Amino acid sequence: MVTTFTWTQDTIKDVIMALDVSLGRVPEQSVAGTAIEDKWKAVRQWLNVVNQALSKSDSEDNLSKVPPFPLSGQELRALQGSIDRIAQARATASSSRVRPSPAHVHQSLARLRASSYWLIGVLLASLAASILNLIIWGGTHEEWLVGIDVGLAIFAIGIWFTHNQALGKHRGQLQDAYPPNW
């Protein structure tokens, strides 16, 4: 039993977009010679016919002329599964998906530690400025603000110290696992 389906503009646009995205995940060369090649081409051809019909000025009238979809629901799910597997295999084989080398990780950790030292320099300068401010203008009404600033700077330095120790631990673990050879 064949069921007739009436398309709406929004529905057909959503279907076109979904199929374009799905089929676009793998180029035609990737499906050439595979079991899904005919189904992939049939869906691509259906998309071309529908896009041409919708590009005409009276697209509402042309919706009634949309040909039936060439695949059953089960065939479409199988095609999507195959496309997913091919796309995953292509992504795994892609050179852009290669994990960073140990040398790259060592360099990143070195940059992170350097920025950490810059941060402590700024924090210590802020603490020194706050203490000098408290000593020089100690009798003003802003004393409590300077006190809060000193307290926050000491708290930030404590947090930095904890994080810097963790960075050192990670550096040691990284060097044990992948000794630097640059």
The pLDDT score that the predictor gives to residue 141 is 54
Residues 35 and 115 in one domain: no
The pLDDT score that the predictor gives to residue 94 is 64
144, part of any domain: yes
Condensed to tens digits (0 to 9), the pLDDT of residues 110-158 reads 888 888 888 888 888 888 887 777 777 665 556 677 777 778 888 888 8
4, part of any domain: no
Write out the two tokens for 177.
């696992």
Q: At what angle do helices 37-55 and 9-24 cross, to 10 degrees?
A: 140
The pLDDT score that the predictor gives to residue 171 is 78
1, part of any domain: no
Residues 173 and 159 in one domain: yes
**Which residues 6+ apart lie within 8 Å of 71 measured at CB?**
39, 42, 43, 79
The pLDDT score that the predictor gives to residue 58 is 62
Give the separation between CA 91 and CA 76, rounded to whole angstroms.
22
The pLDDT score that the predictor gives to residue 57 is 64
Q: At what angle do helices 102-136 and 143-177 cross, to 10 degrees?
A: 160
Query: Which domain range does residue 158 map to?
Result: 102-177
Q: How many distinct structural domains can be found in the chain?
A: 2
pLDDT < 70: residue spans in the chain? 1-5, 57-62, 94-101, 137-143, 180-182
Exposed, middle or buried by CB within 10 Å (0-12, 13-18, 19+), for 83? buried
Give the separation between CA 140 and CA 131, rounded to whole angstroms.
14
Q: Which of 97, 112, 132 is the last residue of a domain?
A: 97
How many angstroms separate the most distant Cα atoms in the chain? Answer: 93
Q: Which of 97, 115, 148 is the last residue of a domain?
A: 97
